[in-house]
Amino acid sequence: MEFSLLTGEALGLGLALVASGLLAGFLAGLFGIGGGAVLVPVLYQFLSFLNVDESVRMHVAVATSLAIIVPTSTRSFLAHKKRGAVDLQLLKTWLIPLPLGVIAAALVAASVSGTGLKAIFAVIALVLGLRMLLDRPHWRLGTDIPGNPVRAVCGFLIGLFSTLMGIGGGVMNNTFMTLYGRPIHQAVATSSGTGLMISIPGTIGLIWAGWGAAGLPAFSAGYVNLLGVALIIPVTTFAAPFGVRAAHALSRRTMEICFGVFLLLVAARFFASVFA
C-alpha cells in the first residue's frame, strides 16, 4: 500500500491511529496495564477499517505496539529502579533467555501468516483472560522463584509469548512472580524491566522480519508503522488518566474481572475471524 503524505488514505491512516491510541490509552488506564494487550486488538480493528492487507495487518499491530512500549518501559523502569523496587537479580538471570525468546518470536513472525498470528494471540489472550477471572490470592506454586533451568525456561517463554502478543510481559511476569510468593509491587516494578528487555529487541526483530513485505501501510519500517508510533504515544498518554479516573470507582477484583472479560472477547473475536 503506497501513497503520498497528502492523500486521503494517509489522512485516514493518521486519524485511525489517533482514534486507536485514544481508545487504547483509556482502556489501559482503566485496566491498569501497559496497554499492549489493549492496543493490539484496537489497532488491528482500525487497520481493518482501512483495508490494510490481511496478510500483514496483525503483524503491523503487534510490531507497532512493541515499538510504542519502548519509551514507556524505559521511563517506568528507571523510576522503579530509583525506588529500589526492581528485582535486578532476576532480570540479570534473564539477560540471555528472555531476549532469546524474543528472537524466536521474531523468527516465528517472519514465517507465520496473519491468520496464524491471530490464532496465537487468541490462545494466549484466552489463557490470560481465564487466569484473570479465576485468580485467587492464595494460589502459590512455591515460596520463592525457582533457579535454573526452570527460571531460564520461564524467561524464554515470557519473551516468546509477550513478543508474539505485542506486549511488554507485565501480565505474564506478574503472574510468574506472584505465584512464587513475591509481592505484587515488586512484580510490577520488575515487569517494567522485562518490558524493556522485550520491547527493544522485539521492535528490532519485527522491523527485520517485515522488511520489504508486501501490503504494508505507508510510513512503515518492516512491520513497525512509524506514523503509528509517533501519533499513538502522545494520545495514549493523554487518554490514560481518564481511564484511571474511571477505574477509581471499581475495586481491584472488579478490574481483574473486567480485563479478563475483555481478553476473552478479544480471543473470541480473533477465533471467529480465524475460522470464518
Q: What is the pLDDT of residues 98-152, one digit of tens each?
A: 999 999 999 998 888 888 888 988 898 898 888 878 876 667 777 788 888 999 9
Record the pTM. Answer: 0.80
Asked whether residue 6 carries a pLDDT value surpassing 60, the answer given is: no
Q: Is residue 151 part of a domain?
A: yes
Q: In the predicted model, is pLDDT for residue 1 greater than 70? A: no
pLDDT at res. 206: 93
Domain assignment present for residue 236? The answer is yes
Cα–Cα distance for residue pair 130/69, rounded to 1 Å:
24
Q: Please, what sign has the CA dihedral across residues 199, 264, 239, 49? A: positive
Instruction: Give pLDDT tens digits for 180-226.
Output: 888 877 887 888 888 889 989 999 999 999 999 999 988 899 999 99
Between 28 and 125, the higher pLDDT residue: 125
Residue 162 lies in a domain: yes
Which amino acid, residue 129? Answer: G
Q: Pick the residue with more confidence: 103 or 24?
A: 103
Q: Is residue 1 in some structural domain?
A: no
Flag whether 2 is in a domain.
Answer: no
Domain region containing 109: 8-275
Please report whether residue 3 resides in a domain. no
Domain total in the chain: 1
Distance between CA atoms of residues 204 and 66, nearest Å: 10
Which helix (H) or strand (E) covers residue 191, if one does?
Answer: helix 184-210
In a domain, 172, yes or no: yes
Nearest to 242 by CA among 65, 23, 16: 23
Q: How many angstroms separate the CA atoms of 51 and 12, rounded?
A: 11
Question: Could you tell me how many residues make up the chain?
Answer: 276
**8 A C-beta contact, residue 259 and residue 33:** yes
Which comes out higher in pLDDT, residue 107 or 38?
107
How far, in Å, are 97, 118, 196 from residue 25 at the CA level?
A: 31, 22, 19
- 246: pLDDT confidence band, cut at 50, 70 and 90? confident
- The pLDDT value recorded for residue 34 is 58
**79 is a domain residue:** yes
Each residue of 209-242: b (16+ CB within 10 Å) or e? Answer: bbeebeebbbbbbbbbbebbbebbbebbeebbee
Over range 9-35, report the average pLDDT. 69
Grid coordinates given for 130: 481465564
CA distance 28 to 19: 14
Confidence class for position 173, pLDDT limits 50, 70, 90: confident
Mean confidence (pLDDT) of the chain: 82
Note whether 49 and 82 are within 8 A (CB). Answer: no
